[in-house]
């Protein structure tokens, strides 16, 4: 999936001080690295070793999202595309009846994170279903 978002911001506390770190989530050609995004959404930031080899006391606080929540909109549109393809194939299962996610006008970053996680799960389930139909261009990681 192509994305316009190149990175995400994660809020952490390091040695008791609040800090925001930027993590890339797209390849050079704009392809979304969903595995990395899922790990970041779950608070898995990687090693806490500093450049000097000393362990740092880093704690995940949450993701920082700003309007218009471009990444959420892109993932939602991609999921809806897969949903339309399933309907065209005549697959009337519970995945085809999931309504589009409404993006609230005012919401917390925690809620946006939950919505993104939900859309990623739905998108993956739809890709798996399309792969069962041997749909061209759909690749599913195990």
Q: Say if residues 75 and 119 touch (Cβ distance below 8 Å).
A: yes
In angstroms, the CA 95 to CA 85 distance is: 11
For 17, phi then psi, to 5°, come to -105, 135
27-61 pLDDT tens trace: 999 999 999 999 999 999 876 656 666 677 789 99
Mapping DSSP onto H, E and C, the string for 39-66 reads HHHCCCCCCCECCCCCECCEEEEEEECC
What are the residues whose beta carbons fall under 8 Å from the beta carbon of 16, sequence distance 6 or more? 57
Residue with tokens 């001080």: 17
92-118 pLDDT tens trace: 788 888 998 888 888 999 999 999 999
pLDDT at residue 142 in the model: 60
Quote the percentage of the chain above a pLDDT of 90.
Answer: 61
Overall average pLDDT of the 114-141 stretch:
86
């Amino acid at each position: 999936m192509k994305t316009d978002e190149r990175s995400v911001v994660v809020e952490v506390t390091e040695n008791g001080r609040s800090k925001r770190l930027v993590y890339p989530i797209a390849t050079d050609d704009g392809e979304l690295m969903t595995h990395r995004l899922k790990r970041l959404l779950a608070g898995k930031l990687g090693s806490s070793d500093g450049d000097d080899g000393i362990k740092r006391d880093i704690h995940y606080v949450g993701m920082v999202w700003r309007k218009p929540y471009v990444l959420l909109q892109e993932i939602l549109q991609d999921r809806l595309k897969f949903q339309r393809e399933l309907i065209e194939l005549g697959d009337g299962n519970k995945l085809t009846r999931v309504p589009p996610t409404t993006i609230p006008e005012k919401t917390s970053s925690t809620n946006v994170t939950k919505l993104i996680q939900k859309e990623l799960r739905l998108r993956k389930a739809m890709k798996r279903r399309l792969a069962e139909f041997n749909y061209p261009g759909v690749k599913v990681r195990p």
